[in-house]
Amino acid sequence: MQQNSLIIMSNPIKLRYNRIVWGLLFLVLLIGILFIYVDYTGLINENVPQRSNEISKKPSLTYKSRQFYLNGQPLQIISGTINYFRVHRKYWRTRLLQLKAAGFNTVDTCIPWNLHEKTKGSFNFHADFNIRKFIKLAQSVGLYVIIKPGPFVGSQIDFGGLPGWLLKDANMRVRSMYMGFTLAVDNYFQVLMHQLVDLQASPNGGPIIAIQLEHEYGSFGDSLQYLHFLRSTLRRYGATEAFYACETVEGFSRHRRLNGDFIGINFNRPEDGRRMISNRQAWGRDLPLFVSELWSGHQLNWNALDRHDVIRPATLANLISKLLGPMRASLSLHMFHGGTNFGFMASRLVATSHDWDAPVHESGSRDTLKYRAVAAAVSMATGNRSDSSGRRRAEKELFGIVGGSGGRVKDYGNFSIDSVLTWSELINLIEDPKLYESAKFMEEVDQNFGFIVYRSAFKAGQVVTVDGYVADWGLLLINGAPPDPADPSSGQLSGAIPRQHDQQQQVQQQQPAQRHLSLKRSQLAAPTNTLDLIVENLGRSSSSSGGAPEANAQRKGLASWQSLNAEQLQAPGRLLINEQPVPSYKIYSLRLDAAFMAKVAVRRSSWLSVSSAAALPRGQPGLYRASLRLMDEPLADTYLDMSAWRKGVAFVNGFNLGRYWTEAGPQRTLYLPAPLLRRGDNEVIIFELIRPGSHVSFMRSPKFVYPV
């Protein structure tokens, strides 16, 4: 009995001891979490040394007395922009050789997050997105590499390279310290640097010598905390090389430079360059002059009135000569080769062709005045400092590949449309539509690109009202046809698509509006009618000038603006029949991705012959198929002429060539690289929204038609 009482008496002591131990463990854990959070969010002071688990190796690229040094040796960076994702991978080596042959020693490229992580948590570094292969090819032809991992990269790519799925979070604040954004960036940088860490010059002897941090951030914001977070995160995942920022005139005066980083300036007008160069000198005597983007031309927008901002070869060559010669500057020619906005990668209102009027054309031809002028300017300015033997080797290899000039292009002629997949058949192939009581944004239903369809049933009505606006282009159908069957364009709805010259005007906030469409009695059926609103995502802005309000309000679909505490917030719009909201929406995600197009191609029984489809209502969307048969002739690049069509997307052998929009112009053709073709039958599928043509044509030259 005494022994039992002793045991009972000892229990409270043991319990008290356990509580103390667990309390201490919890306190240690809490302190650890707080330390990680403070460091993670960039709240540590800029001058605090790096954490022990960050890479502390010295970068190979340094600077002093306004001069770059690579491993202690003077280096004048002469770079050209070639974005690997805008070029078919079979042409990467050729484009890099063209750069080397022109006297350049470096290539720089953006790395768009949204192309490598199209779906949250699912990464793609294969085929045309194999950034490792591109960088290794650059090294093999004797080029250094500058990478631009963003996370915002600009470059006229959708959302500036940010993934659309970020906007599923209704409170998202991109390019900021918002935790939902920083967590996603941290995860992406970890995966990306795993691909690149061993390709850096320090300590592995790789070709990567510098890393651009963000893109023109001074035009967007001024958070030093955010920039520090990006740099420390990249360092934590293995980045060893020098960081730099780039700015235009607009953001240069507001830019906040991190200690140790250098600055690049972006311009094409000499007066802008002079203003920024004078400001740069006020920052310190050591900073080298680095023109991170010397524009060789300009992007092409839908609805462009003329070829604005064209830079003549002589003007560009003169700028290069002055920068490389008397000013001893380093530079990047943006673009050296523009390439193509394949698929849905273009930013808002930017055309599919990204030729840019660059020295090397979209098809890879360097038989241009601009290429010769640029190569001559580089050679004269650098003299014996250039790698002449490397240039000769590049020229020799190029001659063996493409006969010296580059870019074999062929006219394959005309091919008739042979079959049609109607709208009613097409929409039934879309898997897993969802029923909602209200409209949803594209991002809310886990869709980033393509088209979203809002379907609703109603019994009778005279007027359909779109309460809000479409982001960015829409088509309304009643029982599969336009509201006015005699007018195929009667169901078209457009967001803000101004004719403009300034790329900074691309995104315009729209005020709440209503569009009323009257219905014809002949369109209505009994007892139930079907309303379809098809909304096309034409891309999110890649500009920094609008700041956070515009950047965070780029959700796609049926939208409206709502006021909350004097702030304009984006919200889903509504559809009304006779002024009464429709009770529900069946939402279809028409992604037109590779998986869907493969499914469509094998559904032979669903396709109608052209003769059987002749009686279909005008103005009805559909898929149209033709076959390009190639037998003995060598395969060559070509241009798909869409002049006889109106608006849609074109595919060849399942590959998305990009959007066409003949009504808006000026682009009328789509570039088709030869590696996408094969001997025998090549399947051409056109998704046309308004009015199909009877055939497709393949031409040797691109076609652009300007209204003035």
Spatial CB neighbours of 515, under 8 Å, sequence gap ≥ 6: 465, 466, 493
Q: What is the mean pLDDT of residues 593-606?
A: 91
**Beta carbons of 219 and 256 less than 8 angstroms apart:** no
Closest of 262, 294, 278, 256 to residue 67, by C-alpha: 262
Tell whether 341 and 219 lie within a shared domain. yes
More confident residue, 55 or 146: 146
**Beta carbons of 284 and 341 less than 8 angstroms apart:** no
Tell whether 78 and 206 lie within a shared domain. yes
Q: Answer yes or no: is 244 within a domain.
A: yes
- How would residue 282 be classed by pLDDT, with cut points 50, 70 and 90? low
Q: Which of 117, 214, 216, 241 is catalytic?
A: 216
Tell whether 358 and 473 lie within a shared domain. no
Number of domains composing the chain: 3
Rounded Cα distance between 242 and 330, Å, is 15
Tell whether 603 and 579 lie within a shared domain. no
Q: What is the mean pLDDT of residues 29-43?
A: 44
Q: Answer yes or no: is 409 within a domain.
A: no
Q: Answer yes or no: is 351 within a domain.
A: yes
What proportion of the chain, given as a percentage, has pLDDT over 90?
A: 65
CA 597 to the chain's CA centroid = 21
Out of 220-229, 345-354, 559-568, 693-702, pick the least confident: 559-568
Tell whether 599 and 526 lie within a shared domain. no
Write down which residue in 551, 583, 615 finishes a domain.
Answer: 583
For 491-526, the pLDDT digits (tens) are: 899 874 433 333 333 334 444 467 777 777 767 777
Rounded Cα distance between 210 and 147, Å, is 7
Ranges assigned E (strand) in 316-412: 330-337
Rounded Cα distance between 700 and 351, Å, is 20
Tokens of 569: 């917030």
**Beta carbons of 394 and 101 less than 8 angstroms apart:** yes
**CA-CA distances (angstroms) from residue 103 to 63, 212, 380, 450?**
23, 23, 10, 41
Q: Answer yes or no: is 40 within a domain.
A: no
Out of 106-120, 330-344, 568-582, pick the least confident: 568-582
For 253-267, the pLDDT digits (tens) are: 777 777 778 999 998
Write down which residue in 583, 606, 634 finishes a domain.
Answer: 583
Quick one: pLDDT at residue 141? Answer: 96
Q: Which of 21-35, 226-240, 372-386, 542-556 has the highest average model confidence (pLDDT)?
A: 226-240
- Checking if the pLDDT of 653 tops 70, the result is yes
- Checking if the pLDDT of 567 tops 70, the result is yes
- How would residue 389 be classed by pLDDT, with cut points 50, 70 and 90? confident
Ranges assigned E (strand) in 510-645: 514-518, 529-536, 557-564, 567-572, 574-577, 580-581, 585-590, 608-609, 622-630, 638-641
Residue 142 sits in a domain of what CATH number?
Answer: 3.20.20.80
Residue 568 sits in a domain of what CATH number?
Answer: 2.60.120.260
Out of 2-11, 51-60, 302-311, 543-552, pick the least confident: 2-11
Spatial CB neighbours of 100, under 8 Å, sequence gap ≥ 6: 141, 142, 143, 387, 390, 391, 394
Quick one: pLDDT at residue 37? Answer: 42
- How would residue 42 be classed by pLDDT, with cut points 50, 70 and 90? very low
Spatial CB neighbours of 6, under 8 Å, sequence gap ≥ 6: none
Quick one: pLDDT at residue 52? Answer: 34
Counting Cβ atoms within 10 Å, is residue 152 exposed (0-12), middle (13-18) or buried (19+)?
A: buried
Tell whether 615 and 682 lie within a shared domain. yes
Write down which residue in 525, 550, 583 finishes a domain.
Answer: 583
Q: Answer yes or no: is 483 within a domain.
A: yes
Q: Which of 214, 241, 247, 293 is catalytic?
A: 293
Q: What is the mean pLDDT of residues 702-706?
A: 93
Judge whether 216 counts as a catalytic residue.
Answer: yes
For 629-641, the pLDDT digits (tens) are: 998 778 999 999 9
Quick one: pLDDT at residue 248? Answer: 87
Q: Which residues pair with 301 in a beta bridge?
A: 350
Rounded Cα distance between 580 and 578, Å, is 6
Quick one: pLDDT at residue 452? Answer: 98
**CA-CA distances (angstroms) from residue 626 to 183, 296, 593, 681, 685?**
46, 38, 19, 10, 7
Q: What is the mean pLDDT of residues 302-322?
A: 87
pTM of the model: 0.89
Tell whether 538 and 631 lie within a shared domain. no
Quick one: pLDDT at residue 45? Answer: 30
Rounded Cα distance between 50 and 232, Å, is 8
Rounded Cα distance between 410 and 406, Å, is 13
Range of the domain at 690: 414-420+594-699
Tell whether 615 and 559 lie within a shared domain. no
Tell whether 461 and 573 lie within a shared domain. yes
Closest of 83, 397, 394 to residue 386, by C-alpha: 394
- Checking if the pLDDT of 324 tops 90, the result is yes
Rounded Cα distance between 157 and 540, Å, is 8
Quick one: pLDDT at residue 524? Answer: 79
CA 53 to the chain's CA centroid = 33
Q: Where are the alpha helices (DSSP H) in 102-178?
A: 113-116, 131-140
How many alpha carbons lie under 13 Å from residue 491 in its C-beta half-sphere? 29
Quick one: pLDDT at residue 362? Answer: 95
Q: Answer yes or no: is 689 within a domain.
A: yes
Tell whether 271 and 156 lie within a shared domain. yes
Q: What is the mean pLDDT of residues 64-74?
A: 94
Tell whether 323 and 394 lie within a shared domain. yes
Q: Answer yes or no: is 475 within a domain.
A: yes
**CA-CA distances (angstroms) from residue 695 to 628, 663, 665, 685?**
11, 18, 20, 11
260-276 b/e with 16+ CB inside 10 Å = b?
Answer: ebbbbbbbbeeebbebb
For 688-698, the pLDDT digits (tens) are: 999 999 999 99
Quick one: pLDDT at residue 499? Answer: 33
Tell whether 481 and 600 lie within a shared domain. no
Q: What is the mean pLDDT of residues 593-601?
A: 94
Quick one: pLDDT at residue 4? Answer: 38
- Checking if the pLDDT of 89 tops 80, the result is yes
- How would residue 340 be classed by pLDDT, with cut points 50, 70 and 90? very high
For 116-141, the pLDDT digits (tens) are: 999 999 999 999 999 999 999 999 99
* Three-state SS at 309: coil
Q: Answer yes or no: is 425 within a domain.
A: no
Quick one: pLDDT at residue 1? Answer: 40
Average pLDDT of the chain?
86
Q: What is the mean pLDDT of residues 556-580?
A: 87
